[in-house]
Structure 1
Amino acid sequence: MLNKENIKKIIPHREPFLFIDKVTEIEPLKRGVGYKEITGDEAFFKGHFPEEPIMPGVLILEAISQVGATILRMDEAYKDKLILFAGADEVKWRRKVVPGDTLRLECEVIKLRRNFGVGEGKAYVGDELACEGILKFIIADN
């Protein structure tokens, strides 16, 4: 298991743009499962929306992508590479994510080339699917 401090040693993201608290299942280059506790103290809630705080859907996608970047950079061949979000297809948001929720973030690499890849991502709150999509990423020299 990786805690937030371990994650910071693997991916370059930092608060307020680090959206995973821990990664509990890791198969480098294949799949990973991470978690994010939604506390209500996150900076984006100040504007999205003050009267009814909802986590922006694109940040849920970003959180899934950060799990993907973590499982890639755990492999020796990718540890010094920059994993960049390149696009998303077939994205669907199924429920609101609000303070008090815990996101379970799943990412599975379904295609990996030298400088490009595709992953399938899902985010759950409990057993309820909150978001799913196909994530595309570029692998660049750092």
Structure 2
Amino acid sequence: MLAPLPWGREVIEGILPHRDPFVWVSRIVAIEPGASIEGELDVPTDLDIFRGHFPDHPVLPGVIIMEALAQAASIAVLQSPELRGCIGFLTGIDGAKFRRQVVPGDTVTLKATIVKSSRRLVVADVEASVDGEVCATATQKYVLAPKE
């Protein structure tokens, strides 16, 4: 049985193997297990990464946005009963486009639609946005492996 939404850090860490400082999903607000998900990432103003990227114009790196989207998609996939207990490894990003910068204090909406899913391979169309404005889109691919 699924916990009531929204899901916070405790539920997210019960699904994903990631831990601080590399959990890039703050909460899950909607999910259709194995099919789609909507989550959010609160971008802290004091995130250490901004000391170097860039000190005078802090911007969340695109690779972190892609990782946040992959983590959200993985949560949706790993809720399918036959895939619980697996780890999703990002193996490809196709057609990535970055349209808006993400800055400290933003809340990024993370959406993923699972296009293909098998016991071994997952393909998801993903989109990140802030206040309804699209930041990034891509098609991501993941390979699933048992945790052991």
TM-score over 0.5 for the pair = yes
SS of match in other structure, 1:71: helix
Which residue pairs with 1:74 in the alignment?
79
What number of residue pairs does the alignment pair up? 142
Q: CA RMSD in A?
A: 0.9
Residue 106 (structure 2) aligned to one of 101, 106, 113:
101
- TM-score scaled to structure 1, two decimals? 0.97
Give 4+ residue runs of structure 1 displaced > 4 Å after superposition.
none
1:115–1:140 Cα contact (<8 Å) kept: yes
Residue type of the alignment partner of 2:33: P
Aligned positions of 1:22-101 closer than 5 A: 22-101=27-106
Structure 2 runs not aligned, ≥5 long: none
Which residue pairs with 2:115 in the alignment?
110
Per-residue CA distance 1:114-134 (angstroms, 9 max, x = gap): 201100000000110000000
2:83–2:119 Cα contact (<8 Å) kept: no
CA distance in 2, matches of 1:111, 1:27: 14
Structure 1 runs not aligned, ≥5 long: none
Per-residue CA distance 1:26-63 (angstroms, 9 max, x = gap): 11110000001112222211211111110000110100
CA distance in 2, matches of 1:69, 1:8: 12
2:73–2:124 Cα contact (<8 Å) kept: yes
Residue type of the alignment partner of 1:28: P
The sequence identity of aligned pairs, in percent, is 32
Which residue pairs with 1:123 in the alignment?
128
- TM-score scaled to structure 2, two decimals? 0.93
